Amino acid sequence: MNAETLAHVLRPLQNLFSPADYPNLLVGLGDPDDAAVWRLDQERALVLTTDFFTPVVDNAYDYGAIAAANALSDVYAMGGQPFLALNIAALPPDLPEELVAAILRGGAEKCRQAGVVIAGGHTVQDKDPKFGLVVVGFVNPSQTVTKGGVRVGDRLVLTKPLGFGVTTTALKRELAAPEDVAEVVDWMARLNDRAGKLALEFGVRGGTDITGYSLLGHALEMADASRVGLRFEYSRIPFVSCARRYAEAWTFPGGASDNRLYYGPRVQFDPAAADEAAQMLLFDPQTSGGLLLALAPGKVDSFLARAAALDQPAWVIGEAVAGDGIDVSG
């Protein structure tokens, strides 16, 4: 569901649950965020999320692993540590058993890599396969990372490159080279666990993960929740090696156009910084994308050094400024 449709659907439900009636629900009824947070006591809160989608790649095992990494990412984005998951699967009755097993194994092995146990789940029949997880984690309430935690002057750090959507759509159209698919699968299947730990280590309070609403869509959610503006430098934004080639071939998924229509009016591009194809890459829906973290400026150098020591990619791509909306410069 695109962002505009979702906003319309949720609007009549806004007053159904009053935050005052649920004082332990720390995140969930206010501004949109990556997961719900329920306080257990002064030092522990539960982080709860769910996510599932149709296949983005042809390999069943990779699909399961990517779907699991994507669902787990919401907990990491909140500063939490996942520990328990449930499968969600809607599968065609004629899908070969070996493919079903491969999807579930890909998800299970990715969860095991994350130290998460899958304790059951639910399946239904559907003509189009869908797979994902319900995930539960723990977070210290005082260390929760939210979209509303960005402050003017914070530097914006991204932990995975962009270009997944335009490449996987090229795959669906049988236009993608095998080495390009391998590159994006490697990125999408990577956990955001180290990035989440770095966020906690450096006291990050503002952040999100980059998924279906694109870098600019999710960044605008952060900007609105934090009541700041954001400025990105296009030349600093990382992309997978094939992103520009598929952008010029215009293999963007439909969600990219939806994102541009909904979020585009609040984004100002320097015409010299990016042509139309380059601009569209910032509206490109990502699956299992990286974290976008707002880091205090005095911590940037030590953060990057620590990230390098942990073999965690990180790029400083912009900053938070007074105002609203997003500016993209060269």
From residue 7, give the alpha-carbon distance in Å to each of 92, 205, 211.
Answer: 30, 25, 17
- Which CATH number characterizes residue 122's domain? 3.30.1330.10
**Residues shown for the chain:** 330
Note down the domain range covering 94. Answer: 3-142
Provide the CA 15 distance to its chain's centre, in angstroms: 27
- Chosen domain end from 142, 161, 185: 142
- Chosen domain end from 142, 169, 186: 142
Helix (H), strand (E), coil (C) string for 300-324: HHHHHHHHHHCCCCCEEEEEEECCC
Whether residues 33 and 128 share a domain: the answer is yes
Residue 19 is predicted with a pLDDT of 83
The total of structural domains in the chain comes to 2
Residue with tokens 């990619």: 313
Whether residues 137 and 273 share a domain: the answer is no
Residue 1 is predicted with a pLDDT of 67
Sign of CA dihedral 292, 296, 301, 303: negative
Full pLDDT tens readout for the chain, 330 residues:
677 776 776 677 677 888 888 999 999 887 778 999 999 999 999 999 999 999 999 999 999 999 999 999 999 999 999 999 999 999 999 999 999 999 999 999 999 999 999 999 999 999 999 999 999 999 999 999 999 999 999 999 999 999 999 999 999 999 999 999 999 999 999 999 999 999 999 999 999 999 999 999 999 999 999 999 999 999 999 999 999 999 999 999 999 999 999 999 999 999 888 899 999 999 999 999 999 999 999 999 999 999 999 999 999 999 999 999 999 998
Distance between CA 267 and CA 44 in Å, rounded?
38
Whether residues 210 and 147 share a domain: the answer is yes
Residue 13 is predicted with a pLDDT of 65
Whether residues 48 and 185 share a domain: the answer is no
Whether residues 203 and 325 share a domain: the answer is yes
- Which CATH number characterizes residue 232's domain? 3.90.650.10
Whether residues 134 and 155 share a domain: the answer is no
Whether residues 117 and 77 share a domain: the answer is yes
- Chosen domain end from 142, 176, 204: 142
Whether residues 178 and 308 share a domain: the answer is yes
Distance between CA 148 and CA 227 in Å, rounded?
8
Whether residues 213 and 231 share a domain: the answer is yes
Neighbours of 276 (CB within 10 A): 11
Residue with tokens 């306080």: 39
Provide the CA 6 distance to its chain's centre, in angstroms: 17
Neighbours of 39 (CB within 10 A): 17
Whether residues 253 and 304 share a domain: the answer is yes
Whether residues 260 and 321 share a domain: the answer is yes
Whether residues 207 and 156 share a domain: the answer is yes
Contact between 140 and 294 (Cβ < 8 Å): no
